[in-house]
Structure 1
Amino acid sequence: MDLSVSIGDARFPNPIMAASGTFGYAREMENVLDLKRVGAIVPKTITLQPRKGNPPPRTTETPAGLLNSIGLDNDGVDAFLARHMPYLAEIGSPIVVSIAGKTVDEFAELAQRLDGHPGITALELNVSCPNVSGGVDFGADARMCHQVVGAVRAKTGLPIFVKLTPNVTNIVQVGLAAQEAGADALTAINTCLGMAVDWRRRVPRLGNVLGGLSGPAIKPIALRAVYQLKQALSIPIIGVGGIATVDDCMEFFVVGASAVQVGTASFYRPTAVIDILDRLPDALRALGAERLADVVGTIRTPGGLAEGCGTPRADSAAPEASGISPNRAG
Structure 2
Amino acid sequence: MTVLAGLRLASPVVVAAGCGGTGRELAAYGALEALGAFTTRTITLDSRRGGPVPRLLETPSGLLHATGLPNPGVDGFLATELPWLLQQRARVVVSVAARSLGELAELARRLGTAPGVTAVEVNLSPPDTGPEPELMMAREPFQVGAAVAAVERELPRGVPVLAKLRPDAVRVAEAARAAVESGAQGLVVGQALPAAMPDGRAAGLSGPAVGPLALRCLTEVLGAVDVPVVAGGGVATVADVRTRLALGAVAVQVGAALLHDPTTAARLVAALDPDATSEETPS
Task: Give me the TM-score of the superposition, normalised by structure 1.
Answer: 0.78
Aligned-pair distance for 1:136?
5.5
Aligned to 1:159: 160
Moved more, 259-268 or 26-35: 26-35
SS of equivalent residue, structure 2 residue 122: strand
Mapped partners of 2:252, 2:4: distance in 1: 13
Contact 1:126 1:135 in 2 (8 A): no
Q: What is the percent sequence identity of the aligned residues?
A: 36
Aligned to 2:270: 278
Contact 2:5 2:228 in 1 (8 A): no
Q: What runs of 5+ residues in structure 2 fail to find an aligned partner?
A: 275-283
- The 1:227/1:163 distance shift into structure 2, 3 A limit, reads same
Equivalent in 218, 221, 225 of residue 226 of structure 1: 218
Contact 2:168 2:213 in 1 (8 A): no
Aligned-pair distance for 1:281?
4.3
Aligned to 2:259: 267
Mapped partners of 1:265, 1:22: distance in 2: 9
SS of equivalent residue, structure 1 residue 161: strand
Contact 1:7 1:159 in 2 (8 A): no
Aligned-pair distance for 1:111?
0.5
Equivalent in 113, 119, 126 of residue 110 of structure 2: 113
Aligned to 2:177: 176
Equivalent in 80, 96, 101 of residue 99 of structure 1: 96
SS of equivalent residue, structure 1 residue 231: helix
Contact 1:98 1:125 in 2 (8 A): yes
Aligned-pair distance for 1:6?
2.0
- Runs of 4+, deviation exceeding 6 Å: none
Task: Give me the TM-score of the superposition, normalised by structure 2.
Answer: 0.91
Aligned-pair distance for 1:77?
0.6
Aligned-pair distance for 1:279?
1.6
Mapped partners of 2:179, 2:100: distance in 1: 16
Mapped partners of 1:47, 1:264: distance in 2: 21
Contact 2:211 2:235 in 1 (8 A): yes
Please tell me whether residue 36 in structure 1 is matched to residue 37 in structure 2: no
Equivalent in 21, 25, 32 of residue 24 of structure 1: 21
Mapped partners of 1:150, 1:270: distance in 2: 35
Aligned-pair distance for 1:9?
3.4
Mapped partners of 2:97, 2:196: distance in 1: 23
SS of equivalent residue, structure 1 residue 147: helix
Mapped partners of 2:135, 2:187: distance in 1: 16
Aligned-pair distance for 1:12?
1.2
Equivalent in 46, 51, 54 of residue 57 of structure 1: 54
Aligned-pair distance for 1:21?
0.6
Aligned-pair distance for 1:134?
4.7
Aligned-pair distance for 1:161?
0.6
Residue type at the aligned position of 2:137: D
Residue type at the aligned position of 1:107: L
Aligned to 2:278: none
Residue type at the aligned position of 2:88: I
Moved more, 127-136 or 12-21: 127-136
